[in-house]
Amino acid sequence: MKHRPSLLYSMLAVALGLGMVGCKSKPKVGPQVAGRSATTLLADGEKLLKEGRWEDGRRTLRLIQENMPSSPEFAKAELLLGDSYFFANKTSYPEAAVEYRNFLNYFPRHEMRDYALYHIALCHYAAIPDAERDQAETRIAISAFQDLLRESPGSLYAVDAKAKITQCWRRLAESELMVGIFYVRSRNYSGAETRIRELLETYPEYADRERAYYYLGEAMRQKVVPPSQIDQIQKDFLARANKDDTQKLSADEKKQLSTEIATYTKAELAKYRQEAADFFNKLVESYPNGPWAKLAKKSLSELGKEKKS
């Protein structure tokens, strides 16, 4: 009986020893999914993308995204998912932008941050519509490229980002001119004047100034005095006459009001027409051989303000 504890301890020691030997025979491995490690999954996914097997590649990379977010391979897998939408035969820029943004959310200070920022901007740049349509996407692209330049001014992509910002500004300018031209054709001359003047002031480097000068000249050539200005003359006159309605004016007062309106209207129209001539002359002088100079000369002739050679 006294020897039994010793025998028990001896048996326990043997069992533990065997257990330790058993552990050593199975070396530890990292986490796996479907029998593959993150390293293997990343290599397989990248290979599939290079082969153009976009859906298969994404499914493989998402195994890392969904099951191994703490693995060293997760960052590259996330970028590759963005690339899989960006470079696919059938591109899907919205999905690409989502994956690139996911990368930035997970890795805000990663060395490839500028790559993700640049490609997010390219996703919006690729979606820029024609000048005749709303330019919200163009403004978003400008903002995205500016984010890249602000956060990574020395980036490899900085030069191209600056060039594309310039192209975006040109598209915005062209869009403003399209709106101005539409207003001229719709006889909204005051609206056309506002749009095209703002275009020339906001985008001084805009290349197609010939059309801008011509249509701004046309807007001013055909513009009439806005009713709101006539209403203001009436209000001012009633205030001076201490009346609250034109029907309460005497015959002499009505005649005086009519004279004031006519005088004001004549002066305003003369001012508009002179401004129109100024723009037409600027067009003819700056672009004498351009396609719009001939039309400008015709408009000047109708105004009776063509310059004598």
pLDDT in tens, 166-194: 999 999 999 999 999 999 999 999 999 99
Percent with pLDDT over 70 in the chain = 87
pLDDT in tens, 192-202: 999 999 999 99
How many Cα atoms within 13 Å fall on the side-chain side of residue 21? 6
pLDDT in tens, 35-56: 789 999 999 999 999 999 999 9
Residues whose CB falls within 8 Å of the CB of residue 254, separated by 6 or more in sequence, listed in order: 246
pLDDT of 7 > 70? The answer is: no
Residue 246 has what DSSP assignment? Answer: G
Residue with tokens 């956060």: 151
Rg for the chain (alpha carbons), in Å? 37
The pLDDT score that the predictor gives to residue 204 is: 87
Q: What is the mean pLDDT of residues 75-86?
A: 97
**pLDDT band, very low/low/confident/very high, at 33 (cuts 50, 70, 90):** low
**pLDDT band, very low/low/confident/very high, at 306 (cuts 50, 70, 90):** low
For residue 110, the one-letter residue type is: H
Task: Find the farthest-apart pair of alpha carbons in the chain and give their distance in angstroms, rounded.
Answer: 140
pLDDT of 20 > 80? The answer is: no
Angle at 146 between CA 145 and CA 147, to 5 degrees: 90
Distance, in Å, from the CA atom of 30 to the CA atom of 276, rounded to the nearest integer, reads 77
Q: Are the CB atoms for 33 and 67 separated by under 8 Å?
A: yes
The pTM score is 0.75
The pLDDT score that the predictor gives to residue 15 is: 38
pLDDT in tens, 220-237: 999 999 999 999 999 999
The pLDDT score that the predictor gives to residue 26 is: 40
* Helix or strand run (H / E) with residue 55: helix 54-67
Q: Which of 84, 140, 82 is nearest to 110 (CA)?
A: 82
CA-based end-to-end distance of the chain: 135
pLDDT in tens, 124-147: 999 999 998 999 999 999 999 999
Q: What is the mean pLDDT of residues 74-80?
A: 96
The pLDDT score that the predictor gives to residue 294 is: 93
pLDDT of 291 > 60? The answer is: yes
Neighbour-count burial for 173-207, b at 16+ CB within 10 Å, e otherwise: bbbbbbbbbebbeeebbebbbebbeebbeebeebe
pLDDT of 23 > 90? The answer is: no
Instruction: Give me the chain's average pLDDT, please.
Output: 88
Distance, in Å, from the CA atom of 9 to the CA atom of 94, rounded to the nearest integer, reads 68
Q: Which long-range CB contacts under 8 A does 21-25 form with residues at least 24 apart?
A: none
pLDDT of 3 > 60? The answer is: no
Residue 1 has what DSSP assignment? Answer: -
Query: What six digits make up the tokens of 35?
Result: 């029998």
